[in-house]
Amino acid sequence: MEHPENDTQYAGLTVNSGVEQPPIVNPYLAKRPRRKPLPPASELVEGILKGDVTSLSRAVTLVESLAPEHYALAQEVIEKCLPYSGNSRRIGITGVPGAGKSTSIDVFGLHVLKKGGKLAVLAIDPSSERTKGSILGDKTRMEKLSVHPNAFIRPSPSAGSLGGVARKTRETIVLCEAAGYNDIFVETVGVGQSETAVHSMVDFFLLIQIAGAGDELQGIKRGIMEMADGIVINKADGENVGAAQLAQAQFRSALHLFPPTASGWAPEVLTYSGYYEIGIAEVWDMIDRYFEYVIRTGYFEAKRKEQARWWMYETIDEQLRKNFYDNEVVCKILTRCENDVLANRRSSFAAAAEVLDYYFGEK
């Protein structure tokens, strides 16, 4: 008997035979087509030039992809978009976490969009490498912009070295410009690593500061201040106005000690409140004045050329490095040589020479 409980001695207890267990995986899922195949470059480019956001997003995803099979297609799309790029104002925005970058970008963004045109907000976030998630450029942080039809917000590419992440952002700028975005914000955390990369891809570099207790200039990397074309002190509202004005005076006098900038433009220091929307137009007037000035003096063009050159060498450096460290034998020799050096058995130079001799001998 299949079920002993069905024996007459257990009167009143009936056990029905079971039903077949449905499959755990939905069978319809297997039949569903996998991801759409990638369209040819020409189709993506056509969409981008028409300003189609889906094509733009797909192309950006392609550029950010680490899959080797996406690389050639991504490069083809970028090459085809290049002739249509360059016609935007690229503005870098930096500040420590909590300085009010997202609040400010939201209102700055709406301010520039009031005049028409389209705005792209991109981000470079070196910390995303560790957290595996980007904290910058997150749509939820920019409530008003994220629902604006003429704004395109893209979080930081999340994988790879800072150089790699920055290069992808630079390539994304090209795509956005080809799609007709004439204002590009590149956001970064003001902690000192990614600023150089951002500086090398923007026309204007805005440093957001907040007035704090004590010496305002403490903890601010001199290098970041030297890169800034404008310093703005946020949260100049309520009881904070006095402190913000004091910070403004301190920054102004500190800037006097710096050598003149390459552009000849004297960086300005302003106060504003992103949250209460005070002084936004003044900040933007300053940026407009800067663009008028550098376009008139020819510095705008010269800087863009210099940046293009910088990126060429930067890309070469990165590829050479990658090729070297990706070589398995090189890695083995490196480990052995490093141990020798640490154990004082060999000099650093002799060890380096051995690895390099092997590498160049291979080539």
Q: Which is nearer to ligand GDP, 238 or 259 (CB)?
A: 238
- CA 305, 311, 316, 321 torsion-angle sign: positive
Q: Which residues are at the interface with ligand GDP (CB under 6 A)? A: 95, 97-103, 234-235, 237, 273-276
For residue 290, the SS3 value is helix
Burial of 91 (0-12, 13-18, 19+ CB in 10 A): buried
Q: Which is nearer to ligand GDP, 5 or 143 (CB)?
A: 143
Q: How far is the CB of 305 from ligand GDP (least distance, A)?
A: 32
Q: How far is the CB of 237 from ligand GDP (least distance, A)?
A: 5
Q: How far is the CB of 234 from ligand GDP (least distance, A)?
A: 5
For residue 120, the SS3 value is strand
Q: Which is nearer to ligand GDP, 102 or 307 (CB)?
A: 102
Q: Which pair of tokens denotes residue 9?
A: 């001695």
Q: How far is the CB of 133 from ligand GDP (least distance, A)?
A: 15
- Residue 136, phi then psi, degrees to nearest 5: -100, 155
Q: How far is the CB of 148 from ligand GDP (least distance, A)?
A: 17
Q: How far is the CB of 276 from ligand GDP (least distance, A)?
A: 6
Q: Which pair of tokens denotes residue 189?
A: 């955390």
Q: What residues form DSSP beta bridges with 121?
A: 153, 185
Q: Which is nearer to ligand GDP, 276 or 325 (CB)?
A: 276
Q: Which is nearer to ligand GDP, 144 or 336 (CB)?
A: 144
Q: Which is nearer to ligand GDP, 278 or 352 (CB)?
A: 278
What single DSSP character describes residue 7? S
Q: What is the rounded CA–CA span in Å between residue 164 and residue 212?
A: 34
Distance in Å from the first CA to the final CA of the chain: 77
Find out whether 209 and 95 touch, Cβ atoms under 8 Å: yes
